[in-house]
Structure 1
Amino acid sequence: MFSTVEIFNKTVRVEWSDAAESAMASRMGPLTVEMELYFSCLIRKKVRFGDQAHSREFLPVNQHLAVAFRPVMTKSCKIDRDNAEAPLSDFEIKNPAAFVPHWLKIDFRHGNWEGDFGFSGRK
């Protein structure tokens, strides 16, 4: 299944599996999904679900799903070998539309939400 959502006037194709559709339909409220783009010494992309998401504004895709895009950065470049996450802050970008992903894919497997997003043709 799929739909689209406009983020910073850019269309993002949002796709989800049948399993994700069933899991979303059984929730009390919409699933919130954040596409996080992390700028530091490396660029990292991460999909955060529900309480793990930190965005202030989510855009509805349908009655069961809302998404957000959040560019973030850290004050210093530190690669932590024990995977501890550095404190993040919002990254104010002059032209955020240039960094908005083209697509987002969502699945629900083995009781866990999974997601990926990208910047070119469909994955």
Structure 2
Amino acid sequence: MKKFLLLGILMISVVSFSEILTGSFVSKIHQISGEVSLETTGKEITISNFTYDGNGKNVYLILTKDGDFKDMKIISKELKKGYVNETLTLKVNNLQKLIDEGYNTVSVYTKTNKSTFGDASLSEVQ
């Protein structure tokens, strides 16, 4: 009986509490739009209704801390085409750790110009 009690306590202590974070892209150029969502204990970021005209060079989806590119994490392959209201599912290793470290913004980023075409700040669903 004691073994089962200890096992139960151990299982409860390792269970992480999950939050759902969401955000909507605010477009700067290239017709960026879409809604971002993720579960903090998951390994995927979903972008629904994603639109991008495809006219940028060296464009990627990235995670940043409040839009600061210094420690950005690239989370997609290069975006080489346009998208119209598509759903993208991005697998991100260590997603929970990145969120815990303060990564809270998804951006459509061009390496060529070192700037974004649009950003989505993530916040907890109320």
TM > 0.5 fold call: no
Higher Cα Rg: structure 1 or 2? 2
State the TM-score, normalizing by the size of structure 2.
Answer: 0.32
